């Protein structure tokens, strides 16, 4: 999947920005969202069950949906996470991810090199006093010992995503942008590409083409294979 031109882009880049989505974690056993058989390909639509409205009115339904469909604590980083992490450790890359699964962190990416744009599902707190709660406690109950509702620190429908301004600043520094494993239809995440400087190459590695007004070199295929082939100096 990688020719000399593509390899040289990675070899010469000093400020790579990876934009990652659910397709990055499928090789780790976590289903994606919008493809056939994914989380959103169900009779019950998650747009309501993962909304501020559901949190306010039917928190038990939200809790059950999250616990049934969204936690994969045994999942481990795959070659995509590992190669990206290696580049961040060389101080040549940063990652902005839509994923809430924490696998980039598990792969060893420093918080200074990672923006979890939609939060992290293992980051839990009580909604009134904002006390941190661990995952094992949340497994047992959606209510804390003092009677407060617990929620994951993720962007729900009806909320503004995390760290938008920080993500924009990172995009403005990029000398190579690589989109991996995302349908690139969710905003404002997809809008981050608008902040890339005009002469910066943009590449996408996905199972399907993405639609955008920007010129993108699109590589269609398995991202795991791509990153297996990618050589890191």
If you compute the radius of gyration of the chain from its CA atoms, what whole number of angstroms results?
A: 18
Of 90, 89, 91, 77, residue with least CA distance to 20 = 77
Quote the pLDDT of residue 47.
86
Euclidean distance between CA atoms 64 and 68, whole angstroms:
6
Location of structure tokens 């991996």: 180
Per-residue HEC secondary structure of the chain comes to CCCHHHHHHHHHCCCEEEEECHHHCHHHCCCCCCCCCCCCCCCCCHHHHCEHHHHHHCHHHHHHHHHHHCCCCCCCCCHHHHHHHHHHHCCCEEEEECCCCCHHHHCCCCHHHEEECCEEEEEEEECCCCCEECHHHHHHCCECCCCCEEEEEECCECCCCCCHHHHHHHHHHCCEEEEECCCCCCCCHHHHHHHCCCCCCEEEEECCCCCCCCCCEEEECCHHHHHHHCCCC
Q: How many CB atoms lie within 10 A of CB 110?
A: 13
Below-70 pLDDT ranges, the chain: 33-45
Domains and their CATH numbers in the chain: 1-29+77-118+160-233 (3.40.50.1220)
Q: How many CA atoms, within 13 angstroms, populate the side-chain half-sphere of residue 143?
A: 6
Q: Catalytic annotation on 130?
A: no
Quote the pLDDT of residue 43.
58
Euclidean distance between CA atoms 224 and 226, whole angstroms:
5
Read off the pLDDT of residues 39-54 as tens digits, 9 standing for 90 and up: 554 556 678 999 999 9
Is there a cis peptide before residue 221, judged by omega within 30 degrees of 0?
no
Q: How many CB atoms lie within 10 A of CB 102?
A: 19
Can you say whether residue 180 is alpha, beta or left, with left for phi > 0 and alpha for psi between -120 and 50 degrees?
beta
Quote the pLDDT of residue 40.
52
Quote the pLDDT of residue 132.
97
Quote the pLDDT of residue 36.
46
Residue of 118, 130, 214, 215 marked active site: 118
Location of structure tokens 């599902």: 121
CA 57 to chain centre: 27
């Amino acid at each position: 999947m990688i020719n000399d031109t593509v390899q040289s882009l990675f070899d010469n880049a000093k400020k790579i920005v990876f934009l990652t989505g659910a397709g990055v974690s499928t090789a780790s056993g976590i289903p994606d969202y919008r493809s056939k058989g994914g989380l959103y390909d169900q009779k019950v639509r998650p747009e309501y069950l993962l909304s501020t409205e559901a949190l306010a009115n039917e928190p038990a339904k939200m809790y059950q949906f999250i616990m049934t469909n969204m936690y994969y604590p045994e999942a481990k980083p795959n070659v995509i996470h590992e190669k990206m992490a290696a580049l961040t450790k060389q101080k040549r890359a940063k990652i902005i991810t839509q994923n809430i699964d924490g696998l980039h962190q598990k792969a060893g990416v420093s918080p200074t090199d990672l923006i979890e744009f939609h939060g992290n599902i293992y980051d839990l707190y009580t909604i009134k006093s904002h006390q941190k709660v661990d995952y094992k406690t949340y497994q047992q109950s959606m209510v804390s010992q003092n009677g407060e509702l617990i929620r994951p620190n993720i962007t729900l429908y009806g909320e503004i995503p995390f760290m938008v301004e920080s993500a924009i600043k990172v995009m403005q520094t990029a000398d190579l942008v690589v989109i991996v494993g995302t349908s690139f239809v969710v905003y404002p995440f997809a809008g981050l590409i608008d902040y890339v400087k005009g002469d910066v190459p943009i590449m996408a590695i996905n199972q399907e083409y993405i639609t955008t007004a920007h010129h993108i070199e699109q590589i269609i295929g398995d991202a795991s294979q791509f990153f297996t082939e990618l050589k890191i100096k």
